[in-house]
Amino acid sequence: MSNQDLQARKNAATPRGVGVMCDFYAARAENAELWDVEGRRFVDFASGIAVNNVGHRHPKVVAAIRRQLDEGFIHTAYQIVPYASYVELAERINRLAPGSQPKKTAFFTTGAEAVENAIKIARAATGRSGVIAFDGGFHGRTMMGMALTGKVIPYKLGFGPFPAEIYHAPYPHELHGVTAADALQGIAQRFRSDIDPQRVAAMIFEPVQGEGGFYMAPPEFVRGLRALCDQHGILLIADEIQTGFARTGKLFAMEHYDVEADLMTMAKSLAGGMPLSGVVGRADLMDAPAPGGLGGTYAGNPLAIAAAHAVLDVIVEENLSARAVQLGSQLRERLARVKSDVPQLAQVRGPGSMVAAEFIDPQTGAPDPAFAKRVQARALERGLILLICGVHGNVIRFLFPLTISDAVMNEGLDILTDALTR
């Protein structure tokens, strides 16, 4: 079996709408390394888009899934025959999620499902329908997810009309001259021109925008959101799907702030590669939907629940929040060293190991997506997998597993340095 043969079969059998970055096919993976069907090895700085924070096939995650397979069951549908592991994981998340009020958690399958259900819960709890989202935000590929997402190409292209009463406001981008005050003023403008705040159920934001370019929300912006929500009876939803589970140096990114969200979505690294997502929030809000209003056939699958328990154990046992800070500092130091040789490198940003590098044309200051793509391609030739993001496609984001060894991390950084300077 060759990559070329599989590529031809893929093109014949699957639609072009499922965009695929690499032209090689995975055969196996271990921690931060991946091998294709022809035996080529790659250092993985993508982690399945921030899913493998504890690495590929962490032994404790594998053992937990195998134990559930061998000694338990694969599926009962939690809504038909429930199981203790679901309840126990909800109890753990309720204890771990930031916030002082009593909480409840519901589990789903994908990040988009978590977002959809967070909006449902907010509408049921408030009796309102409007939602404020933000430019550059990404919340999934379902119809509601696309409506909330603040980027047209490729996510919204050709798919409208979208659900009504979704409004977008600016998100703070220091590099591009959008301050926290500007962004808050943008919400005020929405209230003046688009929707009465008394009709808004929720505001949904990413504490660090993922697909949007790894812009971290300034503390004064998050405080301003909280104040506006409190003033108008609006719920604040923090989308932690990409930021959660130690990636930013905290278990959840909202722990970097001194205010609380009412609801939080989670997915990606929650279950170490198994499909699992969830919504955690104030107990009174979570109880707003009627019985049967939340759920799904595969929601809270027992194999994924078992994996999530193991992931939470690994994060504590291996101190991955501190490891995220250490690895992120190492990456930023390496990028700082090459800055004088790479005039296109405009900014390195992001908390913990949620780090990104943004590239611009040094002559004009315009975004330079072509340079970012060249760096990505050069790195891939040398065996390093990198991801591009940002509204302009000019940002490289780094999402290596937090369990990566020092040797493999240094190897990846050496390849990155070569790709940047050549």
- How many domains in the chain? 2
User: How many C-beta neighbours within 10 Å does residue 271 have?
Assistant: 31
pTM of the model: 0.96
For residue 174, the model assigns a pLDDT of 85
Quote the CA–CA distance of 245 and 267 in Å, as a whole number: 9
Over residues 330-350, the pLDDT tens digits come to 999 999 999 999 999 999 999
Q: Which of 299, 263, 284 is nearest to 93 (CA)?
A: 263
Over residues 50-95, the pLDDT tens digits come to 999 999 999 999 999 999 999 999 999 999 999 999 999 999 999 9
Backbone angles phi, psi at 261, to 5 degrees: -85, 160
pLDDT band at 176 (very low <50, low <70, confident <90, very high): confident
For residue 175, the model assigns a pLDDT of 85
One domain, residues 70 and 21:
no
pLDDT of residue 385 exceeding 90, the answer is: yes
Contact of 384 with 42, CB cutoff 8 Å: yes
For residue 50, the model assigns a pLDDT of 97
pLDDT of residue 158 exceeding 90, the answer is: yes
One domain, residues 174 and 246:
yes
- Chosen domain end from 317, 336, 359: 317
One domain, residues 40 and 92:
no
235: domain CATH number is 3.40.640.10
One domain, residues 70 and 42:
no
Quote the CA–CA distance of 122 and 101 in Å, as a whole number: 17
How is residue 78 annotated by DSSP? T
Range of the structural domain that residue 120 is part of: 62-317
Over residues 270-328, the pLDDT tens digits come to 999 999 999 999 999 999 999 999 999 999 999 999 999 999 999 999 999 999 999 99
**How confident is the model over 123-129, as a mean pLDDT?**
98
Residues taking part in catalysis: 138, 239, 268
